[in-house]
Amino acid sequence: SAAVQTAGSCREIFTADGKRILVAANIGGIDDLSLALQNGAEGVGLFRTEFLYMNREKMPTEEEQFRVFRQAAQMLNGKPLTIRTLDIGGDKSLPYFPLPKEANPFLGLRAIRLCLKHPALFKVQLRAILRASAFGNIRILFPMISSFGELNAAKKVLTHCKSQLDAEGSPYDRNIQTGMMIEIPSAAVLAEEFAKQVDFFSIGTNDLTQYTLAADRMNEAVSELYDPMHPAVLRLISGTITAAHRNAIPCCMCGELASDERAAATLLADGLDEFSVSPGAIADTRCHLIQALGEKR
């Protein structure tokens, strides 16, 4: 069978056993999305919503976020739009929302931890995402999940927002898919159990690498130790994909490794379903994947 088949203007990629591989985009806003679509993105695997919160004076309102998410969903015209809830803290801060000073911000109050500590802030965003889901194919992605308690707490807030919208008579996608990032080693180790509680995984190799190897992704002095191809990281990745498939959920990768030519053959052999990469890397990634699939035959 052919690795490549023609479908409209964009060639879809298939494995030898006929599974379609999606090449999607990581975006930070609408401008990125335009570029991604021009470059042939088959969806959005990661919308980093923190950029809606940064470089401004005050928090974006529910209405403002809703409009951005709706526009993105409409531009995608049925293709999947994976919206990650706010991942602030770590290296990213907000001028109008002072965070406590921490000795180790990457090990501190970041992403889902911050949102769970400030449910009002979290709800504004979840309501905006849910409302936009009436206008397209939206999926929700929770970042930095390290424990079942956090996942359950996040899902509980989401359920609360859904019943609020029900009471208000606001439409949303009742079958909206909810997934989690696998970017903390504990989540990768327990992927089998997590897979039973979400609709999809997305592997964040940038954080998974830094946390597995105890090597700060921003620190030049340890950049040689920061290796997403380290066998320990690769083993966590393959275990995560296997666990996903054993539980019949798809597995995406949205970390930088997804666009790394050296990893293409391994990730395909592991069975990765979706590669989400920066808009500028889409064409090259498609080439690597097609080439890796061709060489296997």
Of the candidate spans 7-15, 69-77, 94-102, 175-183, the one that interacts with Mg ion by CB under 5 A turns out to be 175-183
| Residue 153 makes contact with ligand PEP by CB under 6 A | no
User: Which of 119-127, 189-197, 204-212, 238-246 is the region at the interface with ligand PEP (rule: CB under 6 A)?
Assistant: 204-212
d(CA 273, CA 295): 19
CB of 175 to ligand PEP, least distance (A): 25
- Under 8 Å between Cβ of 285 and 34: no
d(CA 280, CA 26): 10
Q: Which residues pair with 85 in a beta bridge?
A: none
Our finding on whether 110 is near ligand PEP (CB under 6 A) is no
Residue 287 CB, shortest distance to ligand PEP, in Å, is: 22
Kindly give the interhelix angle for 231-246 and 205-213, rounded to the nearest 10 degrees. Answer: 130
Piece of the chain touching ligand PEP by CB under 6 A; list 115-123, 154-162, 198-206, 265-273:
198-206
Q: How far is the CB of 63 from Mg ion (least distance, A)?
A: 28
Among 125, 177, 205, 212, binds ligand PEP (CB under 6 A): 205
The DSSP secondary-structure symbol of 141 reads E
Among 60, 204, 250, 279, binds ligand PEP (CB under 6 A): 204
Confirm if 23 and 40 have CB atoms less than 8 A apart.
yes
SS3 at position 99: coil
Contacting residue, 183, 256, 260, 270, with Mg ion by CB under 5 A = 183
Nearer to ligand PEP, 48 or 288 (CB): 48
Q: Within a 13 Å sphere around the CA of 8, how many CA atoms are in the beta-carbon half?
A: 4
**Residue 48 interacting entry, from ligand PEP, Mg ion, none, C-beta within 5 to 8 Å by type:** ligand PEP
136's CB contacts (< 8 A; 6+ apart) are: 70, 72, 73, 74, 76, 77, 78, 81
Rg of the chain, C-alpha, whole Å: 19
Asked if 32 touches ligand PEP (CB under 6 A), the answer is: no
What, of ligand PEP, Mg ion, none, does residue 173 touch, CB below 5 to 8 Å by kind? none
Nearest to 255 by CA among 212, 222, 199, 292: 212
The contact mask relative to Mg ion for 127-166 (x = CB under 5 A, - = no) is ----------------------------------------
Centre a 10 Å sphere on the Cβ of residue 113 and count the other Cβ atoms it contains: 16
Residue whose CB is less far from Mg ion, 207 or 274: 207
**Any contact of residue 256 with Mg ion (CB under 5 A)?**
no
Residue of 25, 42, 65, 87 that binds ligand PEP (CB under 6 A) = 87
d(CA 255, CA 235): 16
Give the contacts of 39 (CB within 8 A, at least 6 positions apart). Answer: 25, 279, 280, 282, 283
Q: Which of 48, 70, 110, 288 binds ligand PEP (CB under 6 A)?
A: 48
Contact residues: Mg ion, CB under 5 A? 183, 204, 207
Contact residues: ligand PEP, CB under 6 A? 46, 48, 87, 183, 204-207, 254-255
